[in-house]
């Protein structure tokens, strides 16, 4: 029989602020952190994003540490440290030494890559910085989190585009369920605001220059964000032995691949992921109170996600509160699913459902309860967090109130 997995610590860096509490307060107040870029990006049509508030990295790291910390690794370590502190753990303790650090990322160290290419191709320098590889490698965030927090168990990065955070979190959950480890620090980090990446998203023509309006009739696309979300997971026995405060229980997951179009979502793939999560969790559709939707505000995603929810939940779909928090923290790519699970955990813990911000009028094909514009006080016993990625990669996580 698999072991129960509890969430005992949370950390977040987002466009709403540098802490978990700032993320939560921004969400429940319906505050959208999407804003116009302060500096012109030249020939790029994208003018808006959800960027992390300006911060001084030297307040968190020494100059020597910064020499090997890409921006995405900085955000990962800051959020990871908060999650560990929140759980009441201390760097160097045996608990952390034996833990796992499993981090998701859709982009990796793109700031390092871009600075290198700029130096070599634009500035015509003859050499790259000697620490370019360890700073920019996709696995850097896991290595840096491990190093800064003294974690010596399994440590690695998972990449599955916008589902990276969910897949990393699921990996940690299943490792605890199996008995392989007792503690896992899991989550994701992404920092996609480089010229090359924004130029590439511009070419896809799925990014809005208005704002992110999930499920609204006049939605015009996604808005890029950045940040990191981290969760400290423990086996029930381990958490109870140290009298840890528990936010929620992770009870199940569903993962599927569409094996279809590289960018267009598929109803059957999403439907199967949700169904599998319910089955793995041992919960019925009627037990679900809240869904944190993938909700990108693209024309295709919102209709397909709504259709999948209806297919799984039938008449009960109309009774489920659904919110798209990307309307506030932006689409932070691989980190979005981790930030959204932090939000889902806090919603369940506080009995408050964050809204779908910027909502105007519902699309006729999106006719469910999207909690428009204002948070709702509502007891939640069971919740889902949906994440769907380019390449047809789907991940759904189920949480329950811990009793």
Catalytically annotated residues: 162, 294, 331
The DSSP 8-state label assigned to residue 160 in this structure reads B
Cα–Cα distance, 250 to 283 (Å, whole number): 12
Structure tokens at 160: 């599955």
> Which residues 6+ apart lie within 8 Å of 29 measured at CB?
375
Q: Taking the CA atoms of 161, 164, 165 and 166 in sequence, report the sign of the dihedral they define.
A: positive
Instruction: Calculate the dihedral angle through the C-alpha atoms of 329, 334, 339, 342, rounding to the nearest 10 degrees.
Output: 160
Angle, CA 140 vertex, CA 27 and CA 125 arms, to 5°: 110
Paired sense of beta strands 382-389 and 393-400, if any: antiparallel
Cα–Cα distance, 326 to 32 (Å, whole number): 9
E strand intervals along 79-169? 100-104, 155-158
Name the region of 354 (left: φ>0; alpha: ψ -120 to 50; beta: rest): beta
Cα–Cα distance, 305 to 264 (Å, whole number): 12
CA-atom Rg of the chain in angstroms? 20
Which segments of 17-68 does DSSP mark as H helices, in order?
Answer: 20-28, 63-66
Instruction: Calculate the dihedral angle through the C-alpha atoms of 29, 30, 36, 39, rounding to the nearest 10 degrees.
Output: 40
Cα–Cα distance, 151 to 101 (Å, whole number): 7
101 bridge partner residues? 155, 185
Query: Which SS3 state, helix, strand or coil, does residue 298 take?
Result: coil
292 bridge partner residues? 323, 385
Distances in Å between the alpha carbon of 384 and those of 104, 249, 250, 344? 19, 12, 10, 8
Distances in Å between the alpha carbon of 182 and those of 77, 79, 240, 333? 21, 21, 12, 28
- Using DSSP, how many helices (H) and how many strands (E) does the chain show? 14, 14
């Amino acid at each position: 029989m698999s072991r129960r997995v509890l969430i005992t610590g949370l950390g977040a860096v987002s466009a709403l602020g540098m802490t978990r509490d700032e993320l939560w307060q921004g969400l429940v107040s319906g505050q959208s952190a999407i804003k116009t870029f302060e500096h012109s990006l030249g020939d790029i049509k994208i003018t808006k994003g959800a960027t992390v508030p300006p911060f001084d990295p030297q307040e968190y790291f020494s100059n020597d540490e910064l020499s090997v910390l890409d921006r995405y690794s900085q955000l990962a370590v800051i959020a990871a440290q908060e999650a560990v502190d929140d759980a009441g753990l201390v760097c160097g303790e045996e608990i952390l030494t034996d833990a796992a650090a499993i981090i998701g990322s859709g982009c990796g160290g793109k700031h390092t890559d871009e600075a290198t290419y700029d130096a070599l191709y634009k500035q015509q320098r003859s050499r790259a910085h000697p620490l370019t590889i360890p700073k920019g490698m996709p696995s850097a965030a896991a290595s840096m989190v491990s190093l800064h927090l003294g974690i010596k168990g399994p440590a690695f990065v998972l990449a599955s585009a916008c589902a990276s955070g969910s897949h990393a979190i699921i990996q940690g959950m299943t490792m605890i369920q199996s008995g392989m480890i007792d503690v896992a620090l899991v989550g994701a980090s992404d920092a996609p605001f480089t010229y090359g990446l924004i130029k590439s998203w511009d070419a896809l023509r799925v990014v809005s220059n208005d704002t992110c309006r999930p499920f609204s009739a006049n939605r015009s696309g996604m808005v890029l964000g950045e940040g990191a979300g981290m969760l400290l997971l423990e086996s029930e026995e381990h958490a109870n032995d140290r009298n840890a405060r528990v936010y929620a229980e992770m009870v199940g997951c569903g993962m599927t691949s569409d094996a279809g179009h590289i960018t267009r979502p598929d109803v059957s793939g999403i439907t199967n992921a949700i169904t599998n999560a319910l089955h793995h969790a041992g919960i019925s559709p009627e037990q679900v109170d809240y869904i944190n939707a993938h909700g990108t505000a693209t024309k295709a995603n919102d209709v397909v996600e709504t259709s999948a929810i209806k297919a799984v939940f039938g008449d009960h779909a109309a009774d489920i509160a659904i919110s798209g928090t990307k309307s506030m923290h932006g689409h932070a790519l691989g980190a979005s699913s981790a930030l959204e699970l932090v939000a889902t955990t806090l919603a369940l813990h506080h009995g408050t459902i964050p809204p779908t911000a910027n909502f105007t009028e519902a699309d006729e094909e999106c006719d469910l309860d999207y909690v428009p514009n204002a948070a709702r006080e509502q007891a939640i016993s069971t919740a889902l967090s949906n994440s769907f990625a380019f390449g047809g990669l789907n991940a759904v996580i189920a949480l329950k109130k811990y009793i």
